[in-house]
Amino acid sequence: MSGGVQFTIDAVDGRARVGRLDTGHGTVDTPAFMPVGTAATVKALTPDMVRATGAGMVLANTYHLMLRPGAERVARLGGLHRFMNWPGPILTDSGGFQVMSLAGLCSIDEVGVDFRSHIDGARVFLTPERAVEIQDLLDATITMVLDECTAFPATHQEAAASMRRSMRWAGRSREAFRARDGYGLFGIVQGGVYPDLRSESAATLTGIGFDGYAIGGLAVGEGQATMFGVLDATVALLPADRPRYLMGVGTPADIVGAVARGVDLFDCVLPTRSGRTGQAFTQAGTLNLRNARHAEDMNPIDASIDCPASRLYSRAYLHHLVRAKEILAAILLTWHNVAFYQQLMADLRRAIAEGRLREFAARFVAEYENGGG
pLDDT of 313 higher than 50:
yes
DSSP 68: T
By the 10 Å C-beta count (0-12 exposed, 13-18 middle, 19+ buried), 42 is classed as buried
| Domain-embedded: residue 94 | yes
pTM of the predicted structure, to 2 decimals: 0.97
Same domain flag for 121 and 59: yes
* 14 Cβ neighbours under 8 A, 6+ residues apart: 260, 357, 358
pLDDT for 260-275, tens place per residue? Answer: 999 999 999 999 999 9
DSSP 236: G
Separation of alpha carbons 60 and 56, rounded Å: 14
Same domain flag for 158 and 279: no
Which backbone phi and psi does 225 adopt, to 5 degrees?
-60, -45
| Domain-embedded: residue 1 | no
Same domain flag for 244 and 285: no
Q: Point out the domain boundary residue: 219, 237, 268.
A: 268
**58-61 vs 90-93, strand pairing mode:** parallel
pLDDT of 337 higher than 90:
yes
Same domain flag for 296 and 242: no
Same domain flag for 251 and 143: yes
pLDDT of 257 higher than 50:
yes
Q: For Cα atoms 226, 164, 153, give the angle at the middle one, nearest 5 degrees.
A: 35
Is 241 considered catalytic here?
no
Same domain flag for 200 and 264: yes
DSSP 301: S
| Domain-embedded: residue 217 | yes
Separation of alpha carbons 192 and 151, rounded Å: 8
pLDDT for 47-82, tens place per residue? Answer: 999 999 999 999 999 999 999 999 999 999 999 999
Query: CA nearest 333: which of 293, 302, 296, 367?
Result: 302
pLDDT for 176-214, tens place per residue? Answer: 999 999 999 999 999 999 999 999 999 999 999 999 999
Alpha helices (H) along 182-277: 195-208, 224-234, 252-260, 270-275
DSSP 36: B
Q: What is the mean pLDDT of the chain?
A: 96
Q: How confident is the model at residue 1 (pLDDT cuts 50, 70, 90)?
A: very low
Tell which wins on pLDDT, 371 or 328: 328
Q: How confident is the model at residue 105 (pLDDT cuts 50, 70, 90)?
A: confident
Q: Point out the domain boundary residue: 205, 235, 268.
A: 268
- Please give the average per-residue pLDDT across 168-174, as a whole number: 98
SS3 42: coil
Q: How confident is the model at residue 2 (pLDDT cuts 50, 70, 90)?
A: very low
Same domain flag for 11 and 81: yes
Same domain flag for 240 and 282: no
Asked if residues 68 and 3 have their Cβ atoms less than 8 Å apart, the reply is: no
Helices and strands: H and E segment counts in the chain: 15, 16
| Domain-embedded: residue 99 | yes
Q: Which of 93, 147, 211, 302 is catalytic?
A: 93
* 260 Cβ neighbours under 8 A, 6+ residues apart: 14, 15, 16, 357, 358, 361
% of the chain exceeding 70 in pLDDT: 99
DSSP 283: T
% of the chain exceeding 90 in pLDDT: 92
Same domain flag for 225 and 303: no
Number of domains in the chain: 2
pLDDT for 14-54, tens place per residue? Answer: 999 999 999 999 999 999 999 999 999 999 999 999 999 99
User: Residue 103 has what pLDDT?
Assistant: 81
Same domain flag for 76 and 133: yes
Separation of alpha carbons 276 and 21, rounded Å: 31
Same domain flag for 170 and 284: no
Strand partners, 126: 113
Q: Point out the domain boundary residue: 239, 268, 297.
A: 268
User: Residue 98 has what pLDDT?
Assistant: 86
Separation of alpha carbons 15 and 342, rounded Å: 21
Asked if residues 71 and 126 have their Cβ atoms less than 8 Å apart, the reply is: no
pLDDT for 131-164, tens place per residue? Answer: 999 999 999 999 999 999 999 999 999 999 999 9
Asked if residues 210 and 228 have their Cβ atoms less than 8 Å apart, the reply is: no
Same domain flag for 302 and 357: yes
Query: CA nearest 47: which of 359, 338, 347, 291?
Result: 338
CATH number at 248 reads: 3.20.20.105
Q: Which of 139, 211, 264, 267 is catalytic?
A: 267
241: containing domain: 6-268
Is 93 considered catalytic here?
yes
- Please give the average per-residue pLDDT across 115-143, as a whole number: 94
Angle of helix 252-260 versus helix 357-369 axis, rounded to 10: 160
